[in-house]
Chains A and B, each alone.
Chain A
Amino acid sequence: MFQLIWNGLFVGSFYALVALGYSMVYGIIKLLNFAHGDLYMLGSFLAFVVLGGVTGLFGLGSIPILLLVLLITMLLTGGIGVLIERVAYRPLRSSPRLAALITAVGVAFTIEYTVRQIFGASPLVFPIRLQGAPIEILGARITMPQLVLMLVAALLMFLLQRYVMHSREGRAMRAIALDQKASLLMGVNVNRVISRTFFIGSALAGAAGVMAAAYYGTIDFLMGFVIGLKAFTAAVIGGIGNLYGAMLGGIVLGLLESFGTHFLGGQWRDVFAFGFLILFLVFKPTGILGERVVERV
């Protein structure tokens, strides 16, 4: 039983990291950024390249190196996120939302197939493989890398929470989420804050990509697709646009999948996950934490 919970929490923390970016962007400019899952994929490929660049440092033990690579990759994917916003979304900010949504799908394909052109279609084996002897806790097999990855994910979410809720820039983000025009009139630099939001959201997706690559061991150009959909589901379950909602939604989705698979069989895993998406959209479109509109990010 504890194994089921643990599996759910572990997968859920990845969903949560990706869902955060989805949710932040939606909260601020009401755009479903379908390219978000591909920033996750891009993160893993950038880490692959960066790791190739630091092969000389390999002897130093893989986890510190990986954390360094994680940091570099976050900066890079964050930068790419800002670039995407500047090039593809900003010009469309005042157009109907359908236009921006289609552009987002276009951006997603552009990223996917650019990566395919460069790295090929076959999956690549990631040079670092985080695996350790499992320790048994309450009947669940838990490995060191799992713990480290979950801690990193938790730390990133904690830092984000501090930043959004307790800093000046965070307040500006929340203000824009509430009313973009009024914020502009109050002297908030809207463009800069939106850029920053994309930077943070993309960096988190990139971080999740690196961690997934190091843990699971392979990367391919389509790996962002399913997780993008799952993260969207997580964001909706938690209450899209809500910071805590995204985290909660990720964990809830992870647990739902873990238990659903156990009791219904693996064939039903995705049916189960996306069935919940539909249920939430029909009966509680604001998600679990949706009412707290004031705290929208």
Chain B
Amino acid sequence: MSSRRIRTARRFAATGAIALSLGLVLAGCSGGVAGGGESADNSDEPIKLGMLAPFSGQEAAFGDYMKFGAQLAIDEVNADGGIDGRDLELVTEDDACDPTAAVAAANKLVTAGVEGSVGGYCSGATLPTLPVFADAEIPMVIPAANSNQLVGQGAFMINGTGAQQAEAAVEYIKKVGAKKVAVIDDNTDYSVDLADSLEDQADGFEVVKRESVNPDEKDFSANVNSVTGASPDFIVWTGYYQAGGLLVNQLRGAGYDGPILVGDGSVDAQLAAIAGEDAIKNVVGTFTKTPDMLEGGDEWIADYEEVSGGDAPGPYSIQTYEAVKTMAEAYTQAGGTDYDAVVEALQGLDGFPLLTGDLTFADDGSREGGGFVIVEPTGDGGAFVLKDDLEG
């Protein structure tokens, strides 16, 4: 028996070695290419904008939402004459919401000669790509990913950060008068970050339980049991909707019928479908405004559906649209795609008008204000609609 174990160990070691050497080869490639991309400042060529988003894996649904949002913005910019006569062109790569795949995909974008990055959905996958783009002197505007760890790394963030989202959640919890709050995360960067921020900012209530689940599992009964054991009167889930739906369902099954607040990663109509009709009652989410909550949103949705071939916009469609618009504005102000000039222009934006509100970047690259509101899944087919804009 024991000799077999040792052989098994060797097998794993061998696989590891192969994976490692593959990694080295990839890293080698990127080093060689980073230098070459600089000279591509050809005035007739389109400006390539790279976008990393998940087109496969658990989060695949968001990739298309983001792609069509970006494409719409690009079409609009090009229709207006582009940037000093140069058209914009979108280049997408699949990061599968996986850090390893994301770095490889980022290197691919650098190789393809992109001059701006307007992607980034999963914070965990986006984080390791920042140095790749920064080394290649490619300015970054991140539409969706919003972990606090992304702040201050040279990237500009359209979405509010975890801290800003936690602020909105805290405000809502105080508003409903809950006292004992349980916070559940899914162990990903984004989720833990949001949960940490919430715990730090807790004010007027107490975080009685902090729990983490493994989102690849289906059974959370052990976690649920430990949460309900602390008898909370408010539960916050900071992970994504796939595990979130199951968790909401199992919390209800364990007899918890109080309010549940979910973070923006769970704000998706699928949450209601997975949780089930009864379980989804009394669930709210924190989210930045979506097109259907905005003035003039209908028109935007109609334009979007023309690009997407009829599919309705989803979470982060509009943020990605705005990321492209912001990048285009920076190119225009900088008079080209020179890295330092573009970054300076982004930093200099002061109240740049966007659908989700005026945009100003703080010194660390995060968006001032954040603009989070409270939504609830009471729309058609469990779609989230505005419940409370937290203003007054």
Are A7 and B242 in contact, CB atoms less than 8 angstroms apart? Answer: no
* B111 in the interface (beta carbon within 8 A): no
Chain A residue total in the interface (Cβ 8 A): 45
Q: Tell me whether chain A's interface is mostly helix, strand or loop, or mixed.
A: helix
Cβ of A294 to closest chain B Cβ, rounded Å: 15
B5 contacts across to A, CB distance below 8 A: 281, 285
Name the distance in Å between A211's Cβ and chain B's nearest Cβ. Answer: 11
Q: Restricting to A259-285, which residues have a CB under 8 Å from any CB of B? A: 260-262, 265-267, 269-270, 281, 285
Once the chains are docked, how many angstroms separate the CA of A216 from the CA of B216? 13
Contacting residues of chain B (248-304) with chain A, CB-CB under 8 angstroms: 249, 253-255, 270, 273-274, 276
Tell me whether A52 is interfacial, beta carbon within 8 Å.
no
Which of B168-176, B206-214, B343-351 is near enough to bind chain A?
A: B206-214
Which of the 9-residue segments B54-62, B134-142, B158-166, B368-376 touches chain A? B54-62
Instruction: Name the distance in Å between A237's Cβ and chain B's nearest Cβ.
Output: 14
- Which of B212-260 touch A at CB < 8 Å? 212-214, 216-223, 225-226, 229, 242, 245-246, 249, 253-255
Residues of A within 8 A of B273 (CB): 125
> When the two chains form the complex, which single residue of A122, A141, A266 contacts B222, counting CB atoms closer than 8 Å?
A266
Residues of chain B lying within 8 A (CB to CB) of residue A116? 56
B57 touches A212 (CB 8 A): no
- Asked if B225 and A3 make an inter-chain contact with CB atoms under 8 angstroms apart, the answer reads yes
Residue numbers in B under 8 Å from A257 (CB-CB): 222
Q: Which residue of A218, A265, A266, A281 contacts B218 across the interface (Cβ within 8 Å)?
A: A218
A225 and B212 CA atoms in complex are apart in Å by 19
B22 to chain A, nearest CB (A): 16
- In the assembled complex, B21 has its CB within 8 A of some CB on chain A: no
Contact A266 B274 (CB under 8 A): no
Min CB–CB distance B14 → chain A (angstroms)? 9
Q: Which of B350-392 contact A (CB under 8 A)?
A: none
A122:B213 contact, CB within 8 angstroms: no
Beta-carbon contact of B1 and A266 below 8 Å: no
Q: A220 and B242: CB pair below 8 A? A: yes
B61 touches A265 (CB 8 A): no
Given A216-B218, A220-B242, A265 and B212 contact (CB-CB distance below 8 Å): yes
Nearest A-chain residue to B222, judged by Cβ: A261
Interface status of B2 (Cβ within 8 A of chain A): yes
CB distance from A243 to the nearest CB of B (A): 17
Q: Is A101 an interface residue (CB 8 A)?
A: yes
A286: interface (CB < 8 Å): yes
Residue among A216, A226, A290 having the largest count of chain B Cβ atoms under 10 Å: A216
Given A217-B276, A226-B214, A266-B211, residue A121 in contact with residue B226 (CB < 8 A): no
Is A265 a contact of B211 with CB atoms below 8 Å? yes
Q: Which residues of B contact A217 (CB under 8 A)?
A: 245-246, 249, 274, 276
Q: Is the CB of B212 within 8 A of A134?
A: no
Q: Are B11 and A101 in contact (CB under 8 A)?
A: yes
A97 cross-chain contacts in B, Cβ below 8 A: 7
Q: Does A231 contact B (CB under 8 A)?
A: no
Q: Which residues of A contact B276 (CB under 8 A)?
A: 129, 131, 217
The proximity string for A residues 73-106 relative to B, scoring 1 for CB distances below 8 Å and 0 otherwise, is 0000000000000000000000001100100000
Q: Contact between B214 and A218 (Cβ–Cβ < 8 Å)?
A: no
Partner among B60, B219, B226 whose Cβ is within 8 Å of the Cβ of A11: B219
Q: How far is the CA of A260 from the CA of B226 in the complex (A)?
A: 10
Given contacts A217-B274, A266-B211, contact A261 B246 (CB under 8 A): no
For residue A105, give the distance in angstroms from its CB to the closest CB of chain B: 9
Contact of B2 among A8, A265, A285 (CB under 8 A): A285
Q: How far is the CA of A262 from the CA of B228 in the complex (A)?
A: 11
- Knowing A101-B11, A281-B5, say if A226 contacts B217 (CB, 8 Å): yes
Do A269 and B7 form a contact, CB below 8 Å, given A3-B225, A131-B253, A218-B246? no
Among residues of B, the one whose C-beta sits closest to the C-beta of A240 is B1
Report B293 CB to chain A, min CB distance, Å: 24
The distance in angstroms between the C-alpha atoms of A129 and B278, with both chains bound, is 12
**A222–B58 contact, CB under 8 A?**
yes
Q: Is B78 part of the binding interface, using a Cβ–Cβ cutoff of 8 Å?
A: no
| Cβ-defined contact, A125 with B225, below 8 A | no
B201 at interface (Cβ–Cβ under 8 A)?
A: no
Give Cα distance in the complex from A218 to B243, angstroms: 9
A161 at the B interface (CB under 8 A): no
Q: Which residues of A contact B270 (CB under 8 A)?
A: 122-123, 125
Whether B274 lies near A218 (C-beta < 8 A) is yes
B57 and A121 form a contact (CB under 8 A): yes
Q: Are A121 and B58 in contact (CB under 8 A)?
A: yes
Residues of B within 8 A of A265 (CB): 210-212, 226
Hey, which chain A residues are within 8 Å of B1, CB to CB? 285-286, 290
What is the distance, in angstroms, from A2's C-beta to the closest C-beta of chain B? 11
- Cβ of B333 within 8 Å of any chain A Cβ, yes or no, is no
Contact A11 B2 (CB under 8 A): no
Pair B226/A261 contact, Cβ less than 8 Å:
yes
Indicate if B187 sits at the interface (CB-CB under 8 A). Answer: yes
- Measured CA separation A8–B222 after assembly (Å): 8
Smallest distance from the beta carbon of B207 to chain A beta carbons, Å?
Answer: 13
How far is it, in angstroms, between the C-alpha of A225 and the C-alpha of B217 when the chains are bound?
Answer: 9
Beyond A7-B222, A269-B213, 11 extra complex contacts between A and B, CB < 8 Å: A4-B222, A8-B222, A11-B222, A97-B7, A121-B60, A123-B58, A125-B274, A143-B253, A262-B226, A266-B220, A266-B226
5 shortest interchain CB distances as A-B pairs: A261-B222, A121-B60, A266-B223, A267-B212, A216-B218
**Residue positions of A touching B, CB distance < 8 A:** 3-4, 7-8, 10-11, 14, 32, 97-98, 101, 116, 120-123, 125, 129, 131, 134, 141, 143, 212, 216-218, 220, 222-223, 225-226, 257-258, 260-262, 265-267, 269-270, 281, 285-286, 290
**11 pairs from A and B in contact (CB 8 Å cutoff):** A11-B219, A14-B219, A98-B7, A123-B242, A217-B245, A217-B276, A218-B274, A223-B218, A258-B222, A267-B212, A281-B5
